A and B are shown apart, each in its own frame.
Chain A
Amino acid sequence: MTRFSVLLRKDLREQWRTLRMPVVAIIFFVVGLGSPVLAKYTPELLKGAGGNIQITIPTPELKDAIDQLIKNLGQVGPFAAILLAMSAVARERERGTLALVLSKPVTPSAFLGSKFVALLATLGLAVVVASIAAFAYTTLLFAQPPVAGFVACCLLILLGIMVFAAITFLASTLLGSTLPAAGVGLGAYILTAIISIDARLGQFMPNGLSDPARALALGNSPPHLWISLLANLFWIVAMLVGSWLVFRNQEFGS
């Protein structure tokens, strides 16, 4: 068993035993389940709320359910990622367990790698749970989306979420404190939203993954898929390399 796998097992057990993994999975399940339901019944709710006012709303379709899912996961996902990643390294420093682990034969890459893979596992499981719930209810209420395209859509959503996890992860490593790390994550969320107002720049941001994700889920040809995919992968790799460079030059202990 390598040190990385020992650390990863510990980090995964920690995610589970401290209830982070199940809680995030339940929240995503509700979001996944609720998205097609919301898409289906929002027009009726609006009609009911309108009273005597005549509101003409087109009949909801499959694409509305997919849009709702992308929008909801695109909002809840980054916040979950920020809340999980803010404590990844900083909490170990704050509670003093960094010295316990790093006085053992553990490399910085094994330590950070296990943390990020555990984050990916938690958020990945949550997206899978949300996707299954959304797929089932979308099929029930609308029509069955193409399976491969829907899976690809969910993977792109996860990629977008992981960008915010990676940014917060770097902040958690660099700042060594959870709340400032969360602040950086939220700042990045707002900044990328502002940048995404410009369509050309937006395709390099996590929000730029929404259009190709929607197209794939509906079985259409995705626009700017590779540009958005590579750009977001680049952000994640850059943040992780940054975390490693910062971490290997840090000193530990009380």
Chain B
Amino acid sequence: MTDAAIVCQDLVKRYGDVTAIDHLDLIVPRGSVFGFLGPNGAGKSTAIRLLTGLARATEGSAQVAGYNVGRESIALRQQISYLDQQPHFYDWMRGRELLEFVGQLFGLTGTRLRTRVDEVLTLTGITEAAHRKVGGYSGGMRQRLGLAQALINQPEVLFLDEPVSSLDPAGRHDLLQIIEQLRGSTTVFMSSHILADVERICDRVAIINHGRLVVEATVEELQARYALPIFVLQVEKAVETTVIALTERIRKRPWTTSLTVDRDEIRVGTADVEVAGPELLRLIAESGVQLIRYERIRPSLEDIFLRLVSDTPEATAR
């Protein structure tokens, strides 16, 4: 498949009796920013290690950038890059020296190497620190240096394992901006716990749990597929009896799937937004309740994530 940067077919990774990756099938479109989500221990890092050739699959196969991961390991690693969630470096090296070393491993030399090192230093905003020893870098600077070394070969596919987890908000913002700039030219495969970031920059997401793929789609598709719309009504507190009467009437409607009241806020979940919307307004008008706010909200990726990882049979069995 020429439009796919990553293709996993029936990928399995077992450690003794533990199945870390369980028959994973995945297609990642070329040039996309792909979010790879899952709770702790779901198998995200293992999947990334399999796809970068740092670990070997027990069963199944994977192709990355057109190369078979197991059989064409060296050619594959020329075209990809990887940033660990806690990047480790040679602390005795200076920042520029490390980038030159990594560039040389990709076959860059002379002016081409120096130019590329300057480019990635500028891109990641660590030019000032380039002559300092890596051992003295802060966590944020190490992450930036990690991204700089991962970009030095202009990779076709960039694997980022929790790239922003150790960064402050400003660092996170900057790093996400850099990742966004890569869209179209580089396929970014990014695992993350910070779902707001994933929602912001990823074209597509996959959610895995217990090594199994739960779902794979665009964020919008997920919201359309799994999101039950919620209406939020904020009402005047003074008329409590009328509010109770209103909630009782709403609860009895066939389209109501959930109803919660928290102080002056009523949240109504519905399976049929077309019917519920106008009818809710009619019920409110008839009840005489004074309405302060009326809003239909879309559930966040976090809502969907929590629902999906708790809906899987394994999660239910726990």
List A residues at the B interface (Cβ < 8 Å): 1, 3, 6-7, 10, 14, 17-18, 95-97, 99-107, 251-254
Contact = CB atoms under 8 A, between A and B. Distances in A.
Given A3-B105, A10-B101, A101-B105, A96 B55 contact: no
A-B pairs with the 7 shortest C-beta distances?
A96-B88, A103-B82, A253-B54, A251-B55, A104-B105, A6-B104, A253-B49
Interface stretch (B1-9, B73-81, B233-241): B73-81
Interface of B: 45, 49, 52-56, 74-75, 77-78, 80-82, 84-90, 92, 101-102, 104-107, 109, 149
A251 B104 CA distance: 24
A251 B49 CA distance: 9
A252 B55 contact: yes
Given A104-B106, A105-B77, A251 B54 contact: yes
A17 B88 contact: no
A230 B54 CA distance: 37
A106 B89 CA distance: 16
Given A14-B90, A251-B55, A99 B84 contact: yes
A121 B107 CA distance: 25
A100 B87 contact: yes
B74 to A, nearest CB: 5
A103 B88 contact: no
A3 B107 CA distance: 8
B106 A99 contact: no
Given A96-B88, A253-B84, A254-B86, A105 B55 contact: no
B105 A254 contact: no
Given A103-B52, A106-B105, A17 B82 contact: no
A251 B109 CA distance: 30
Given A95-B88, A100-B89, A104-B106, 4 more contacts: A99-B82, A252-B49, A254-B45, A254-B86
A99 B159 CA distance: 13
Contacts of A105: 74-75, 77-78, 105-107
B104 to A, nearest CB: 4
B85 A107 contact: no
A54 to B, nearest CB: 58
A97 B77 CA distance: 16
Contacts of B53: 103
